[in-house]
Amino acid sequence: MAIAKAERLMNLALCLMNTRRPLSKRELRSSVEAYREITSEDAFNRMFERDKDDLRELGLVIETVDALDGETGYVARRDRNRLPEIALDAEEAAALSLAAKVWQQARLAGAASGALQKLRAAGVPFEESGYESAEGHSVIEPRIPAHEPAFEPLMLAARDRRPVSFDYRKSNAVRPEPRHVEPWALECWRGHWYLAGWDRERAARRVFRLSRITGRIRSRGGEFTAEVPDHVDVRQTVASWAGEGATATARIRLRRGAGYPLRAKAVETMPAPGDRAAEWDELEIPYGHGLDDWLVEFGPDVVVLAPGELRDDVVDRLRAVARG
């Protein structure tokens, strides 16, 4: 039976961490049983490269040293791999164990519990009992979803600064279009993930919604060509799509008792003039992107008074529904 991968990785890690001098590939092959079982040189080389990458993903710093006899040597020096002293009090440790539970994405959930295990092994005092039940703490359970298949490959590409390409369907496009992007940062807002980056064809900064990416994320060779800004604010762009940060206002008539969220956003509310006062109010509300979509939802309980373009948009939409 083939030796399990975890056992092989563990043996390689222990060898690399406990040697005083760099070990050659040949020496490592003879020290790790799983490698000795492989007869093909090529297969061994491929496996060894993958294993080194896996250990590096786990945080191990593996140095490659050119040894005198022309062979490359490998070593994971203790001083470079040690977790520096970290003194967390019980409150801080409790805060981190709450944070470690928030990921609903397999890779980051695994990484978060791996981090806690390392800290615990280093002596950080984590309580075993539920933090949630402890007196004096907020009882909140935060969760970060990341169900979009594009999330993990984009996270890794942004981390390693690798350009990518993918097919993207804009919100009202009939077909997806290929995009070449240098991924800068990912941000989750209102439960959805967005990518900010440099769009190579458009030679401009763009924000993409991950759920609109169709198909695979493909890695492109080469480096980033555009400078990565120090601070990437995805949220501001997305909030403006959502119609927030509006500077203009609109006037509407709203049936009394209806449209609470419109009332909550209103800058001014008063009873409608004349005979309508008994049943209707007039409101002044912020007018940003998407307001027409939203007002139509209220059907006969909202009448747009101004501006004319918003009124026309809403009437247009209502006509489409009335036609069926």
What H or E segment, with its residue span, contains residue 92? Answer: helix 90-99
Q: Least distance to other proteins from the beta carbon of 176, Å?
A: 9
Q: Give whichever of 70 and 162 is closer to other proteins, judged by the CB atom.
A: 162
Q: State which residue, 68 or 139, has the beta carbon closest to other proteins.
A: 139
Q: Is the peptide bond before 307 cis (omega within 30 degrees of 0)?
A: yes
Please state the φ and ψ torsions of residue 130, each to the nearest 5 degrees.
-65, 130
Nearest approach, Cβ of residue 293 and other proteins (Å): 5
Q: Which of 5, 70 has the CB closer to other proteins?
A: 5
CB closer to other proteins, 70 vs 321: 321
Q: Quick count: other Cβ atoms within 10 Å of Cβ 195?
A: 29
In the complex, what is the shortest distance from the CB of residue 45 to other proteins, in angstroms, rounded to a whole number? Answer: 19
Which CB, 26 or 70, lies closer to other proteins?
26
Q: Is 283 helix (H, G, I), strand (E, B) or coil?
A: strand
User: Of 319, 323, 244, whose CA–CA distance to 286 is shortest?
Assistant: 244
Q: How far is the CB of 198 from other proteins (least distance, A)?
A: 14
Q: Is 317 strand, coil or helix?
A: helix
Residue 272 structure tokens: 């409608």
What minimum distance in Å lies between the beta carbon of 311 and other proteins? Answer: 7
Of residues 41 and 230, the one with the C-beta less far from other proteins? 230
Q: In a 3-state reduction of DSSP, which class is residue 231?
A: coil
Side chain identity at residue 135, one-letter code: E
Question: How many Cα atoms occupy the beta-carbon half-sphere of 290 within 13 Å?
Answer: 11
Question: At its nearest, how many Å lie between other proteins and the CB of residue 111?
Answer: 4
Contacts of 168 (CB under 8 A, 6+ apart): 176, 177, 178, 179, 208, 212, 213, 214
Torsional sign, CA 310, 237, 112, 119: negative
Angle (nearest 5°) at CA 290 between 289 and 295: 130
Q: Is the CB of 55 or the CB of 181 nearer to other proteins?
A: 55
Please report how close the Cβ of residue 289 comes to other proteins at its closest, in angstroms: 14
